[in-house]
Amino acid sequence: MSKINNKILVVVERDNFIKDSQLLKSLEPLLHSNFKKIIYAHTSNIYVSKLLDHHVFNSNCRFIRKTFKAIALIFFPKFWSYYRRGAEPSFAEKINKVIKVVKTQQESVVLLGRSSGARIATLCADELGVSGVICLGYPFRHPDVGDEPERYMHLRNIKTPTLIVQGTRDVYGGFEGYDFSSKIHTLYINTDHDFDLNDKGIIELSGLIKSFVENETM
C-alpha cells in the first residue's frame, strides 16, 4: 500500500458548504482512490448537503419548498444554521469540532480545508500533529473588509507541511505580500474562489493533491 493510501482525509468545509457540493462531489471519487477514508468535519456527508440543494428544496412553490426543508431539517438539525440567521457556529466551535474529529482517528490524518475551512485547518494543524494540510482557496483578505492580520499571521510559523492552491481569479487575493513558513508550498490554478472547474481541472487538482501527500507530508 502506498504512503497516501494509509492516510485519512478530513475535509474542513467552508461556511457555505452547500456552495461546494458540486466541487466535492467531483473530487470525492478521485480522492477515495488515494485515501483510506474521507471524513467531513462539519457535515457528516456531503450528499446530505446536496439533498438540501436539490431542486425540490428550491421549488417555486413556497409550500413544497418549506415542507420538504422542514422534513429534512427534522432529520438533520445541524443544517438549521444555513436557514436561520444567527445560528452559525462560532469560529472557536468550528475549530473544536475539527480537533474532536481528528483526535478520534487512529491513522495518520491529512486536513483539506476549503476557504474558511483552510484557515481553521492551518490554525489547528500543529496542535493536532497531522501529516499535512491542503488549502483550496485560502481566504487571505475578504473583498468587502480591510486587512485582517489574524487571517494569515499564523502562516509564518506553521510547522506542518502545507499546500495552498489558489485560483488566479480569487477575490480573496493571491500569495503576494505575505510571509509564509518554509513548510508552505503555493500553487496557482486557473479558477476563481469557488473552484469552478471542468473535468480536466478536477483531474489536475486531484493530481496536485496526490503529489503533495506522497512527496511532502509526514
pLDDT of residue 189: 97
What span, in angstroms and rounded, lies between the C-alpha atoms of 110 and 121?
A: 10
pLDDT of residue 80: 55
CB half-sphere exposure, 143, CA atoms < 13 A: 7
pLDDT of residue 19: 81
pLDDT of residue 81: 53
Per DSSP, the chain holds a count of helices (H) and strands (E) of: 6, 6
pLDDT of residue 15: 82
Q: Residue 194 has which C-alpha cell?
A: 469557488
The domain over range 4-42+90-216 is classified in CATH as 3.40.50.1820:
yes
pLDDT of residue 16: 78
Nearest partner of 43 among 74, 9, 90, 77, judged by Cα: 77
pLDDT of residue 53: 52
pLDDT of residue 85: 46
pLDDT of residue 45: 46
Residue ranges in the chain modelled with pLDDT below 50: 1, 44-47, 49, 55-57, 85-86
Residue with cell 467531513: 40
In this structure, are residues 98 and 120 in contact, taking their beta carbons and an 8 Å threshold? yes
Q: In this predicted model, what pLDDT tens digit does every residue of 35-85 receive, in sequence order?
A: 999 999 876 444 454 555 554 445 566 666 567 666 666 665 555 555 554
In this structure, are residues 97 and 74 in contact, taking their beta carbons and an 8 Å threshold? no
Task: List the domain boundaries for the chain.
Answer: 4-42+90-216, 48-82
Query: What's the pTM?
Result: 0.82
